[in-house]
Amino acid sequence: MRASFLLKQGELVVKQIDVPELDADEVLVKVAAVGVCGSDVHYFQHGKIGPYVVEKPLILGHELSGTITAVGASVDSSRIGQRVAVEPQRPCDKCEQCLAGRYNLCPQMEFYATPPIDGGFAEYVKIQSRFAFPIPDNVSFEAAALIEPLSVCVWAAQKAEIKAGSRVLIAGAGPIGVIMAQVARAFGAAEVVITDIAEDRRDFALNHGATRAIDPRIENVEGLGVNAFVDASGVAQAVYSGIKAVGPAGHVLLVGLGAEDMVLPVSHIQNNEIWVTGVFRYANTWPTGIELVATGKVDLDVLVTHKFGLDEVESALNAGKLAGSMKAMVQPGL
């Protein structure tokens, strides 16, 4: 099979490699679509993310879907031919975090496209059968691939306790921010305010989930008194102002990747008993995500602005620089 490898910072190559051999509990998936995530771009541009360093050729891509073409010895052969969305991780299932149901925090986690684990910019991948989720016919392969970022937002919404009547503030109207706005509405939020300095992204968000869009350079969000604030920007000032926008007993969810250290309004947090937490991937979210897409409560297809073949991964990784870009997809079959 063919796969695109990141050799080192800024250097990619397509190679012929063997199709993965399956363990008994795994399935082989012919990859149909892979979304380009900001982490893929970061690895391409910098060769590392925090402690994760690309030290040998690495296949990027962790937002993916496809069709099961083979199964391991302990998997029912009736799964062959199923269209699936892939949850791109393998926890140990033995540690304290896994046993407590928080497998996203497993210290032995093997996560796609996180060194040294290869990802999905390839013609085939293998995954444990339980992490290959069947999708209905009305869910496209592109939308199925984006169940991964949708899962981040579902996890955030659950932790933020968003419910009917909630007022929510989101910083950043990129793909995660827009998906988060749709998820918040699907969870019952009555008001979803989103901030971004880019007018086209604010307009896009207004058409896809947000009830109000703000340019933070012009209008200050502090004092809005929302029930939940989700940062999808990683910008220190946005985080600070967003926390100040949260009312008593509200929730703050840090999703965006920014500086390792930030100044926070501690007095506001203490005096209002605000819950502040990070979001690290997800656990047990794919069924909810698939249901949201299949029932039309969340539209992921609208996010796809560019499509590239396996020989065009570098262009896909640079697509964020293109006017109007929201989400680029790599489709090995092109």
Residue 45 has pLDDT above 90, yes or no: yes
Write down the pTM of the prediction. 0.96
Closest CA to 199 of 185, 187, 213: 213
Closest CA to 256 of 153, 154, 187: 153
Give the mean model confidence (pLDDT) for residues 192-206. Answer: 97
Residue 259 has pLDDT above 90, yes or no: no
Kindly report, residue by residue over 205-219, the tens digit of the pLDDT. 999 999 999 999 999
Closest CA to 17 of 31, 6, 5: 5
Q: Under 8 Å CB-to-CB from 105, ≥6 apart: which residues?
A: 97, 280
Using a pLDDT cut of 90, give the percent of the chain over it.
97
Kindly report, residue by residue over 91-138, the tens digit of the pLDDT. 999 999 999 999 999 999 999 999 999 999 999 999 999 999 999 999
Kindly report, residue by residue over 61-102, the tens digit of the pLDDT. 999 999 999 999 999 999 999 999 999 999 999 999 999 999
Contact 225, 168 (CB under 8 A): no
Kindly report, residue by residue over 153-179, the tens digit of the pLDDT. 999 999 999 999 999 999 999 999 999
Delineate the domains of the chain, giving CATH numbers in brackets.
Answer: 2-146+300-330 (3.90.180.10), 152-278 (3.40.50.720)
β-pairing, 226-231 with 246-254? parallel
pLDDT, residue 287, reads: 98
Q: Would you place residue 257 in the very low, low, confident or very high pLDDT band (cuts 50, 70, 90)?
A: confident
Q: Is 267 helix (H, G, I), strand (E, B) or coil?
A: helix
